[in-house]
Amino acid sequence: MKRFRRYLSNIAVFLISFLLAILIWILASQANDPVLFQSMELPIDFVGQPEDSTLELTNDSIVIVVEAPTSVLSSLTSDSFSAVVDLSQAPLSEEVSLPITVNTKVPGVAVNPPSPEHVEVRLDKLISREIPVVLNIRGSVARGHTQGTPLIDPEIITVVGTAEQVNPLNTARATVFLDNTRHTFSASPFLVFYDRTGQIASINGLDSVSNESVSVTIPVEESADFAEKIIDVEWEGSPADGYRLLGISVDPPSALLQGLPTRLNALTQITTEPIDITGLTETFSQPIALDLPDGITLDEVQVYNVTVEIEPILSTAVYNRPIEFQGVEEGVTAAADPEEARVVLFGPLPILDSLTEDEVHVTVDAFGLMTGTYSLEPVVTFPDRGLELRSVSPPLIIVELTPDITPSLAVTTTQTTTATSPVYEGIVTAAAQTNTSSVDHAVYPFLHPAARRLHLSFLFERNKL
């Protein structure tokens, strides 16, 4: 008996130890990989919707809270779950609340009830109707023309929607505008739907509309005793020299004629009375009369105006003009290289022919410049008569500014040299400042290079003596 009790005691100790080991393992596992909570949004998948039905719902997504170990939770996405609503048993044309079933695709994950747990839905049966297209024509064709039977493509519009949306629709109206149309008219107007009371009806929310616009063609032809012919202007002479005829036009360009069909068909165009453009120098407009054949009359009295466009012939002219200076300081001499510039002007030939060379000036501005050599841009001026400067060559003028040479020193020694140059004589006068016949250092830097060379020659000749 004692042995049996000892045996039972050992079994109890073993079971308790085993349970404690499992508990310790579970606690250790949770310490290393704790269980956490996470919320996520799921789209609702509606299944079992009857064919030819439309679905209206309050919302199409839910929020769930999942519970799982950290290692599992980090890999979860919305694709790991599914939210399903079964529509197979939902009645038509009635709003009902259906439960949302959430399923998980990952084991070991607990899902709390979703929010919301139900979704409000309404199923309606889709029906289709054929709506006739009605053409609304505003305006009319031109006088002397006949409007044919309009063609509409398509003539029927098919709409699909719920009975509440489709049944009120009555017609689809297409509106076109004819403004004295003379030729076959084509347009693609958008449709406006009207209900049975004649009010505009909205088609927003319809499942489908076969066409939102139609193609409209309205044949337009001339009446049997009317015809529209192009007007051809008769003219003679030529513009003044230096001018050309740019074009002749008449407004309106055609005339509606009335007469026997045989005579009208024989005409290709009608002409005006001749106009004389001899010696014209500018564009002008004036009323003009039509030269109508016998038996042909205008459908209605109308003023026809002819416009003759005259413009001067455009050309170029070349002028070689001397360089003029302005702003040169007193006591400074300016020299240009080259001394002339080539100017090309563009404009009406009569203006160029009347322009004299003295009216074209090429000027270089030396204002504020000290002595030295400069590259300056010339300025071309000419009368403002519609002319345009095309080019000036060269684009830069070399300008040398040098001081004027004025005698300031008297000769104090007698020289036996036989120089006869005026520049040389000026240097001789300036060089005899002292017994050594040298030029003052303050004066020497301002001498012209040629004067300096003459001065050195003078000293050389003196030393030889």
pLDDT digits (tens, 9 = 90+) for 198-251: 999 988 888 889 999 999 999 998 777 888 889 999 989 989 888 889 899 999
Structure token digits, residue 436: 């050594």
Domain 126-222, CATH homologous superfamily name and number: YbbR-like domain (2.170.120.40)
Please report the pLDDT score of residue 345 as a whole number: 93
> Would you say 36 and 70 are in contact if contact means Cβ atoms under 8 Å apart?
yes
Please report the pLDDT score of residue 299 as a whole number: 81
CA distances from 192 to 77, 153, 203, 212, 214 (A): 48, 15, 9, 8, 11
pLDDT digits (tens, 9 = 90+) for 288-325: 988 888 888 888 888 999 999 998 888 899 999 999 99
pLDDT digits (tens, 9 = 90+) for 323-355: 999 988 888 889 999 999 999 999 988 888 889
Fold: same for 226-312 and 314-403? yes
In this model, does residue 150 exceed pLDDT 90? yes
Confidence of residue 425 (pLDDT cuts 50, 70, 90): very low
| Right CATH for 314-403 from 2.170.120.30, 1.20.1050.40, 2.30.30.830, 1.10.10.410 | 2.170.120.30
Q: Which residues fall within 8 angstroms of residue 191, CB to CB, at 6 or more apart?
A: 133, 157, 172, 173, 174, 211, 212, 213, 214
* CATH classification code of 35-116: 2.170.120.30
**Closest to 250 in 3D by CA, of 298, 307, 289:** 307
Please report the pLDDT score of residue 432 as a whole number: 47
Q: Treating both helix axes as pointing N-terminal to C-terminal, what angle do 422-431 and 449-464 enclose, rounded to 10 degrees?
A: 70
**Which residue ranges make up each domain of the chain?**
1-32, 35-116, 126-222, 226-312, 314-403
Q: Which residues fall within 8 angstroms of residue 460, CB to CB, at 6 or more apart?
A: none
Query: What are the φ/ψ torsions at residue 371 (nearest 5 degrees)?
Result: -65, 145
CA distances from 148 to 126, 153, 181, 221 (A): 40, 16, 12, 8
| Right CATH for 226-312 from 1.10.3210.10, 3.40.50.300, 2.40.10.220, 2.170.120.40 | 2.170.120.40
Helix/strand/coil for 200: strand
In this model, does residue 417 exceed pLDDT 50? no
